[in-house]
C-alpha cells in the first residue's frame, strides 16, 4: 500500500493507464470497429479509430479510477481500513463508476444482457490480473528491500 501521495505519481499513473487503454481500444477499433459501429458509441468511427469525445470520456474514466485508487489505497483519507476491505471498496467503486460512464456515454446498450455479462467478465478478469501483478510486484519489492537490508547489516 502506498504511504505517500504526490500529484506527479497521480498523473504518471493516469497517463500510463490511459495510454494502455487507448492503445487497446484502437486495436479493438481496427479489429472489430466496422462490425460494432452502430452498436457502441466507442466505435462511432468504425475501424478508423477513436473519436476525440471517446478519448476524453476514457480520460475522465481513468482519472476517476486512479482517484479512487488514491482514496482507497493510500492513507491520505482512510487510515484504519483493512487491505482486503480497501481492495473490495476500490473495485466496487470503479465498477460502479464505469457503469455510470456506460449509461451516460452509451458505451454499449444498457438493455443488452449479453453486453453486461461480457463487461462484467472483462472487469473481473482485469481485476484478477491487476491483483496478481500487484502482488508479484510487491513480493519483488519486498525481496529487493530485504536483500538491501541484509547488505546494509553486512549479512549475505
Q: What is the DSSP string of 19-40?
A: HHHHHHHHHHHHHHHHHHTTT-
| pLDDT score at 4 | 67
The three-class DSSP label of residue 79 is: coil
The phi and psi torsions of 76 (rounded to 5 degrees) equal -60, -50
DSSP 8-state class, residue 81: -
Half-sphere exposure of 58 (CA within 13 A, CB side): 21
Tens digits of residue pLDDT in 75-92: 877 878 888 899 899 999
Tens digits of residue pLDDT in 28-61: 999 999 999 989 999 999 999 999 999 999 999 9
pTM for the model stands at 0.84
Half-sphere exposure of 51 (CA within 13 A, CB side): 13
Amino acid at each position: 500500500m502506498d504511504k505517500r501521495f504526490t500529484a506527479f505519481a497521480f498523473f504518471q499513473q493516469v497517463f500510463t493507464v490511459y495510454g494502455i487503454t487507448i492503445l487497446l481500444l484502437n486495436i479493438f477499433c481496427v479489429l472489430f470497429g466496422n462490425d460494432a459501429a452502430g452498436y457502441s458509441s466507442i466505435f462511432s468511427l468504425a475501424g478508423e479509430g477513436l473519436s476525440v469525445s471517446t478519448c476524453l470520456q476514457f480520460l475522465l474514466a481513468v482519472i476517476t479510477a486512479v482517484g479512487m485508487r488514491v482514496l482507497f489505497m493510500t492513507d491520505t483519507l482512510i487510515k484504519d481500513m483493512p487491505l482486503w476491505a480497501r481492495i473490495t471498496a476500490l473495485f466496487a467503486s470503479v465498477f460502479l463508476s464505469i457503469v455510470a460512464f456506460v449509461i451516460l456515454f452509451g458505451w454499449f446498450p444498457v438493455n443488452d444482457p449479453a453486453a453486461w455479462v461480457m463487461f462484467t467478465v472483462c472487469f473481473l478478469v482485469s481485476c484478477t490480473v491487476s491483483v496478481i501483478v500487484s502482488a508479484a510486484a510487491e513480493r519483488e519489492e519486498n525481496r529487493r528491500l530485504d536483500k538491501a537490508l541484509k547488505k546494509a547489516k553486512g549479512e549475505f
